[in-house]
Structure 1
Amino acid sequence: MISGLLLLVLVGSAMAQRDLSVDCGSDGWVTVHWRPGLGFSQTLDQSKALLGTCPPSSLMSEDTLLFRVLVRDCGFIQQVMEGRVTYSNMLIYARRPELPIITQLVKCDYDSPVGEESEFSAEEPDENREQETFNMEIMNPDFSGPAPSLRFGLGSSIPIRATVEPRSHRSLRIYMKSCEFATDADIRRATQVHPIIANAGCLMESKSGNSSFLPRRHSDEMRLYLEAFRFALGQKIFLHCDLEACVVRSLNVDRKACHYVPEKRRWTLLDEPSQSYACACCDSTCPRTGLMIDGVSVHKVLGPLVIVENEPESSGSPDSRASSAHGMSASRVWLLVFVVALALVTVMGVLVISYYLCFWRGGRLGYRPSRDLLTKY
């Protein structure tokens, strides 16, 4: 007979322990009673709560939520380790935007699988299985090919693309979990390091600069524009990134792509904007579930690239250079027109004044009316 053993792992900052009761039924049903513990100033809103991808079944009381779901639904992650099967999921409650989200990890352990085995479990990797291939490169402005130069002017955009090539029939989604600029290809030897992406997928530079993720064209590709900022100007720098690819099952705070949208004044989840509450932790510290999910990860290093001042907008792009040259030519033409016009006005002014002094006023200086003529008659 299948027996269930509940294992609870509470995730979050050092706050009071949340009230949680979980019944992992042998028939595959999971019943959860959860009191998020919002405090006296907040009212529990069940529309802000999820167990994986499933909303609460009901509101048990003014401060307690009830979830009753099947272990095969709601995005439960199945892990097979040493003959035991663990089903894991995340309870999430999104408070006001200025407050961090509340999360709790729920696990149910079984002696054998409940129902059919999962296609994507955390079994030990097969050494004979082909591995996925990750690629990361700096692109030209429209992502049609590699960048012609790795010199970028301060304030210009650095287009970056990361991809994964699956070696099986699985459809994978790629994530950029962390990225840093460093002054050395070996980050341990770097004298300067600056975080670009942190908190398991938060693009930190999107809040302090004009950087953002671009909408996905394919699940196995990520693109972003990174604004070149004042970091180790004129020096060779390297971009270090941790990439990960996995089968998409449910929202997971360990795997996300969040960027800050100034117009909305909030963080937005790239793939599911309606679930952007998962990005609420980007301004603080995002909780880590520590789930050993069967994903594929790799560390990539790009460079060296150089950020300099007073460079064309787009890393030596022919279009930007042509635009710059056109702008300079136009400026010179207008300057020439202004100088010629000013010279003509000056010459005309000199002629008018000369005529007045020499012919008009000067010719009448010796003129005096004769008294004889005035009194003769």
Structure 2
Amino acid sequence: MTQAWWLQPCQPVDETVLAQARERQQQLTKPAGSLGTLETLAVQLAGLQGRLKPSVEQVWIAIFAGDHGVVAEGVSPYPQEVTGQMLLNFVNGGAAISVLARHLSAQLEVVDLGNATLVADLPGVRHLHIAPGTANFVTGPAMSDEQCRQALQGGRDSALRAQAAGAQLFIGGEMGIGNTTAAAALACALLDSPVQALVGPGTGLDVAGVSHKGRVIERALALHGALANEPLQALTCLGGLEIAALAGAYLACAQQGIAVLVDGYICSVAALIAVGLNPSVQPWLLFGHKGAEPGHQLVLQALQGQPLLDLGLRLGEGSGAALAVPLLRLACALHGDMATFAEAAVADRPA
């Protein structure tokens, strides 16, 4: 039987270049370690790219959209039509991520995995038509096995397009009313954590709404039981089409040698799925920010992720990761362009 593509090994980190990049940092005209995380980032990117002086000028941003059947349980203050309406906003340039992509000179791709309300395809959107959204996971699995595999492949295809375009950094974003409910359910199942620790207001639920959302997730976890403890089964039973696509994209990027900058809560849960499916993806994941959703911190801890920003964001769309791109670029510029002590004829401290 042919091995599933997502189980194939990810690219190894170039340990030789990693060591050379660490050595270069020691020679730059500054006290060792004085640029903190910026030094670590540059060294990590050097090892991932196999280049002593890495670069992240070529950025690919993919927004994956999908609707969620669990919205029928009243877990979101927004109607499901918003998912389709936002697709048009993305390609028309009016969404936050559209603005950020323009200012970063990043390539923006919008992929609709499965929309419940759109009748006609939108120009500029890749419509995969896997399903009209997921099923309500309180009454059965969110997806069939085949739908889950198609969504994973949809993410992989985006990563391959990014590779063909010469991308040095991949950012995945998401859009889907109800997807913080799916993300929280997945995180509860995979981390074996209580619902109260991982459920939050999403797009603006009040205290009563968050409590109701938690009870909906508890019903789903009780229904699917031990099946939801394994990453692929959890994704099928509790996930979203766009969450599966994100996981597929992260895995394919790591297999093709493209660094990934992970966005907020939902994207981090997708990263949790990806690591569960194939642990060799882990070194390729950088984390853009810590979002306001309460469960995000626990997911980041499980992934050993060190977020670059903490701005109280809760938008999604890949926006928090996009905001961190200038930091990565500046980390690379400092690493590559600063003079060494020898070049600048500056005395280093004695060995």
TM superposition score normalised by structure 1: 0.27
- Select the structure that is richer in helix: 2
Larger radius of gyration: 1
Query: Looking at both structures, which has the greater relative contact order when contacts are Cα pairs under 8 Å and sequence separation is at least 6?
Result: 2
- Select the structure that is richer in strand: 1
TM superposition score normalised by structure 2: 0.29
